[in-house]
Amino acid sequence: MSKAAASSVSPCLPVALGELDIFLFGQGKHWDLYRLLGAHPYDGPDGPGYRFAVWAPNARAVSVISDANGWTPGAQALHPVAASGIWAGCIPGFEKGWLYKFSVIQLDGAVVEKADPFAFCTEMRPGVAARAWDLDSYAWNDGAWMKQRRARGLPLTDPVAIYEVHAGSWRWKTADYGSFYSYRDLAETLVPYVRDLGFTHIEFMPLAEHPLDESWGYQVGHYFSPTSRFGTPEDLRYLIDVCHQNGIGVILDWVPAHFPKDAWSLGRFDGTGLFEHEDPRQGEHPDWGTYVFNFERHEVKNFLLANALYWFKEFHLDGLRIDAVASMLYLDYSRREGQWIPNKYGGKENIAAIEMLRELNVVVHEHFPGAAMIAEESTSWAGVSRPVYTGGLGFTFKWNMGWMNDTLSYFAKDPIYRGYHQNQLTFSMLYAFHENFILPLSHDEVTHGKGALISKMPGDQWQQMANLRLFLAYMWAHPGKKLLFMGCEFGQWKEWNSREPLDWALMDFPNHQGAAELVRALNALHKAYPAMHDRDNDWTGFEWVDLSDYAASVITFLRKAPDGSPVLWAFNFTPIVRENYAVGCRIPGFWREIFNSDAALFGGGNIGNGGGVMARPAAYGDWPEYLSLTLPPLAAVALTPEG
């Protein structure tokens, strides 16, 4: 049917919504809410078309405006569904791909155009209209992966190594801004690249539709629509499917903490604070200029929980990384006195947000066994990754921001001063097992004037490259899962700019090739030795050998597998070669050198231990044996006993 013909057809009678649907929505527990609200294919007595439903309880009237009816308010009116706050109706002849919005006559009589909160597909920015779409046009081929994920359960003992990607700036087709790789292009290029380097997961910065490129996706306009910058929803499904077929999990950044104030978006949807609090002391983030979701309202909580479940169910995601969790937990987050309202007990904790996060994690883990929920939480809130039944928030993992800040601060120091700051390396082990941690080196650390990872390193170019290799080795050796932002794996010199692709020309230079080889070797080591990952969250998987040699800026420790088999790590944080350096051990025989960040393959000087050393049968401190090692400059070595 032509758009002109469709525009002449009035909406049919309201689509019947079951009492159970309405009840569950009112309770905040309709997990398939996105199949109830929004626009969906519909075949009624007047022929096929689309049915529409939107929640706007305080609106005077709602109608569908589209390119099919000339964007005329009131031409195709929706009808109120009793006792639900929902307006609904169907339009015969409406076809997939047609653009539409809702015209809302708000409580005060103002007429506004609003985007569908449940849109599954949208037009390319700067347009904000939704496209009529469907959910069931893709045939998945990742059944083996999904079955294995369910059987395996949470990846707490897996060798998780995550490659963080901003899809709009990983690579471009040409030098012109906007020549992005599509989802399908990324399936052909990014997936084999990540697989070759040995990463287990890709974490994408937000892919939900957002109008402003510079927001990187953290100011979401359409929570249910993958951004059209890179293709259709089916194209994103294809990318995730290809990842799974290549043994790579997919994590997506998710932003339930706030949303933008754009007039066409969720804010003041029906003329009232519907998705947000009316009071700016509760409903706005002063720093970000955004609204805060009203977590106390059941329907709003349902919107967020159903959205999280939507990404898992309809896109087969393996995890969500929840942004800005601290801003949700604290009512006084980034607010001065008088800018916030205490909770009912007089405290600063956001009780409704805490309850929402706990329910979110329980529901996700119940519906999708093996899926990971990851918190970017920057405070010392206790129990972020502990089960809800123990009083925790129920996340699978928490980003270890303390480790990241302390380690980067240490590495930025000239080696001559590092001995005075060794506690910045050792302090993290006082709390390393309080949570299930991910060690993040994310986009936040290589932009906004912070410089690239390698540019944080002191010294000449040789020392900077050596320090980069040492930093990465220390990160992989330290307990905790790993996350590395794109470009850091080959030592990009420029800080990340979302309006430029990575500087891939550097991969023509041996030193940068060597850095990538080092990451490949670390990921292989990480997978091959259970000591390196199986007890990431347990003290029994770690043991200090010596943390006291601050004069030489050397630390040594063991990572231990469940059967006790160890990997010994020794780190020399100075540019001085340490020969005949004694390191205690308790296992006699030959210790094979399984890793050396100074290897020529990685761009180093190839100083090491000739493949390994024999333990010497003489007590060294509290250790019954010791190894006499050569520690390369600004380097890490790892050894394990033969047999």
- Helix boundaries (H) for 17-60: 19-27
Q: DSSP letter at 44?
A: E
Residue 503, SS3?
Answer: coil
Task: Kindly state the helix (H) or strand (E) to which residue 556 belongs, with its residue range.
Answer: strand 554-560
Name the residue type at position 125.
R
Residue 45, SS3?
Answer: coil
Name the residue type at position 387.
P
554-560: strand order across its sheet: 542-546, 554-560, 566-572, 635-641, 590-596, 612-614
Residue with token string 């405070």: 379
Residue with token string 């912070």: 450
Number of residues that make up the chain:
643
Distances (CA, A) of 332 to 41, 336, 342: 44, 7, 8
Q: Which of 185, 270, 284, 376 is catalytic?
A: 376
- Joined together, the tokens standing for residue 21 give 């649907």
- Helix boundaries (H) for 82-232: 143-152, 183-197
Q: Do 44 and 82 form a contact (C-beta atoms < 8 A)?
A: no
Residue with token string 């720093």: 287
Name the residue type at position 66.
S
Of 232, 213, 218, 206, nearest to 131 (Cα)? Answer: 232
Distances (CA, A) of 192 to 19, 239, 247: 49, 12, 11
Distance CA 408, CA 502 (A): 22
- Joined together, the tokens standing for residue 205 give 């910065």
- Joined together, the tokens standing for residue 287 give 């720093």
Q: Which of 234, 241, 323, 534 is catalytic?
A: 323
Distance CA 226, CA 311 (A): 10
Q: Do 626 and 587 form a contact (C-beta atoms < 8 A)?
A: no
Of 362, 237, 351, 231, nearest to 296 (Cα)? Answer: 351
Q: State the distance between the two ends of the chain, measured CA to CA, in whole angstroms.
A: 74
Strand 590-596 versus strand 612-614 pairing type: antiparallel
Q: Which residues contact 333 (CB under 8 A, 6 or more apart)?
A: 285, 326, 327
Distance CA 79, CA 515 (A): 62
Query: Catalytic: 314?
Result: no
Of 348, 351, 356, nearest to 332 (Cα)? Answer: 348
What is the dihedral angle through the alpha carbons of 135, 141, 145, 149, rounded to the nearest 10 degrees?
A: 20
What is the dihedral angle through the alpha carbons of 266, 267, 271, 277, rounded to the nearest 10 degrees?
A: 120
Query: Catalytic: 323?
Result: yes
Looking at the chain, the number of H-run helices and the number of E-run strands are: 14, 28
Burial class (CB in 10 A: 0-12, 13-18, 19+), 70: exposed
Distance CA 243, CA 500 (A): 25
Return the active site residues. 323, 376
